[in-house]
Amino acid sequence: MVRHLALATVLALAPTYAAAQSCTSDPVAVVNQIYMQLLERPANDGGEGVWQQQLREGRSVREIVKDIAHSPEHMELIGQGTSAAARRRAVAMLYRHLLDRRPDDAGVGGHADEIGSKGIGYVIDDFVNSPEYARNFGDWRVPGSQVRYCGGNAFTRRATPRGLTDAQNDPFTAADRNRDGRISLNEWNDSRQAFRLADTNRDNVISREEYGVATGAVATSGTIPASDQQFEALDINGNNRIEPNEWRGTAATFNRLDRDGNGWLSRGEALGSARRVP
């Protein structure tokens, strides 16, 4: 059995490459920055310890941002209201808290309507799971800052916590929140584009096999050819190269593929290496 190096590997739920930017291994500093961005206050109430521990155990910054965005304190801060004006104010705050930018009128109106029809939790998930969030912050950077976490297991597979079996710590099982044996789009913690690429049979769910191939966890008796489509999905700014902030794999893999050491991957480096069988 030979492990493939398909470019699909980098479309996984693996952490974003961060070596090119300063990062911190201090979970206290990271959680404090999340509090400042979302809750608009320092993390000094004692409740932040659980988030710090989760970072140390391998949960991503993006997962924690999503959970804090759903917290009662954040919901109360942004408000929801019953009027159209109140919903628009809530959406404007979500743009600032989660995407770190001023909203556009069309976006505010559309998301305000979604709050009315689907609830504010749906809109929060839509923001955090969006390609824009992934492009600007990835899994390990705190929105609205240059704070990026690189401590604990941020660039390695999570270790099995004491007392848990391998099955309980299985990444597929963890992602399959409703335990129906497949991962739907609302359970997928990455962009819609990555979901479509992982969903190879186009049935709108990710099977365990598809998840394994997408994350590079499955060894196969050959290679999965890398495609220009996969390269272009990663090349978010369209400049025909993959830069560190666009990379969806590990720092070690990025450095290995960057054969000329210029800090970015050409199409030949990405696709050629992905087709090679070790």
Residues of 114-136 as b/e, b for ≥16 C-beta within 10 angstroms?
Answer: bbeeeebeebbbbbbbeeebbeb
Give the torsion sign (CA, 209, 228, 264, 132). negative
pLDDT over 80 at 39, yes or no: yes
Q: Rounded CA gap, 267 and 188, in Å?
A: 27
Question: Per residue in 189-235, pLDDT tens?
Answer: 777 777 887 787 788 888 877 776 666 443 332 222 346 666 766 77
Q: How far apart are CA 212 and CA 9, in angstroms?
A: 9
Supply the pTM of this predicted model.
Answer: 0.52
Asked whether residue 22 carries a pLDDT value surpassing 70, the answer given is no
Give 247-265 pLDDT, tens digit per residue: 766 666 677 777 778 888 7
Which tops the pLDDT comparison, 26 or 262?
26
Q: Over the stretch 133-183, which tens digit does the pLDDT of each residue have?
A: 988 888 889 999 988 888 654 443 333 333 334 344 467 777 777 777 788
263/242 Cα distance (integer angstroms): 9
Q: How many CB atoms lie within 10 A of CB 249?
A: 23
CA dist 126 and 136 (Å) reads 15
Tell me the pLDDT tens digit for each residue of 108-134: 888 888 888 888 888 999 999 888 898
Please give the pLDDT value at position 93: 93
In the chain, the amino acid numbered 108 is: V
Domains in the chain and their CATH numbers? 7-16+159-275 (no CATH), 27-137 (1.10.3130.20)
Q: How many CB atoms lie within 10 A of CB 189?
A: 19
CB 73 within 8 A of CB 47: no
Q: Tokens at residue 157, please?
A: 């597979």
| Residue 33: predicted pLDDT | 95
